[in-house]
Amino acid sequence: MELSDMFWSASIEELKKGYVEEENYFICLLCGKEIEKGMVYSFQDNLYEAERYMRIHIGKTHQSVFDYLIDMDRKLTGITDHQKSLLRLFYQGKSDKEIQKDLDIGSTSTIRHHRFALKEKERQARNFLAMMELLKEKDKHAPAFVPVHQSATMVDDRYNITDDERAKIVEKFFPDGVENGLAKFPPKEKQRLVILREIAQQLNDNHKYSEKEVNQKLEHYYKDYVLIRRYLIDYGLLDRKQDGSQYWVKQP
């Protein structure tokens, strides 16, 4: 199962923890790191069993599940930048008076109003989740959609792709298999999204590529590697240093 599938199908409790438990591993929902059960792991001269070490990994690598979730694109969180600022301060345990001073807005009653509005949003979200769960039991015609990757930067209708459509696009543009490269560059955004995700999956998640390395790697899949590189960055699949000296697969 792809990490994006695992992330979006996780329960609320699993999302809060930031990892899921499989038969032999604990798997980080935020980056896909696997911690093998039954092993002992060392960190700062101390030894930890697997699940405890997974929690250490999340804190060390992602700061916290809250920080990871709140940094996701607005289309994936449904909250504004202003609401994000408030939520960060609430999470830090600051009082309404401290928050009003930090943000230099209104009064403490203004902050209290924002708290109320967010609680209202929570109630709406809980009701919507319940309705969608009930809908699954009745709607036998709902197609399986390709999940949105968590690092997506442009979430719109281009993600309206079913699993069947994705398979047909891959077959059309990679007739000899992904490892043998593109026959041509797709003209439509939906098609581009699919082929770019396929190419991104061929890159090493744990490697920092030099510009020369990433160009050579991408040229294997399409002759215009600069075009592919630009689209991978635009779609939030690849990241880089500002000077272009290093590139890496963008963690969700």
Rounded to the nearest angstrom, the gap between the alpha carbon of residue 51 and the centroid of all alpha carbons in its chain is 22
Say yes or no to pLDDT of 227 above 70.
Answer: yes
Query: Does 108 reside within a domain?
Result: yes
| End-to-end CA, the chain | 15
pTM (predicted TM-score): 0.70
- pLDDT attached to residue 120: 95
The answer to the question of residue 148 being in a domain is no
Please report whether residue 144 resides in a domain: no
Task: Give the CA-trace dihedral at 174, 180, 183, 185, to 10 degrees.
Answer: 80
**pLDDT for residue 1 is more than 60:** no
Q: What is the pLDDT of residues 114-133, one digit of tens each?
A: 999 999 999 999 999 999 88
**pLDDT by residue (tens digit) across 11-60?**
999 999 999 999 999 999 998 899 999 999 999 999 999 999 999 999 99
Any domain includes 146: no
Can you give the pLDDT at residue 134? 92
Residues 163 and 225 reside in one and the same domain: yes
Q: What is the structure's pLDDT at 139?
A: 86
Q: 166 lies in a domain?
A: yes
129-150 residue pLDDT tens: 999 889 988 888 877 777 777 7
**Better-predicted residue by pLDDT, 160 or 118:** 118
So what's the pLDDT on residue 8? 87
Residues spanned by the domain of 103: 72-138
- What's 114-133 look like in SS3? HHHHHHHHHHHHHHHHHHHH
pLDDT above 60: residue 201 = yes
Token pair in block for residue 175: 């007739």
Structural domain count of the chain: 3
Same domain, 81 and 20: no
On the question of pLDDT at 113 being above 70, the answer is yes
Mean pLDDT of the chain: 90
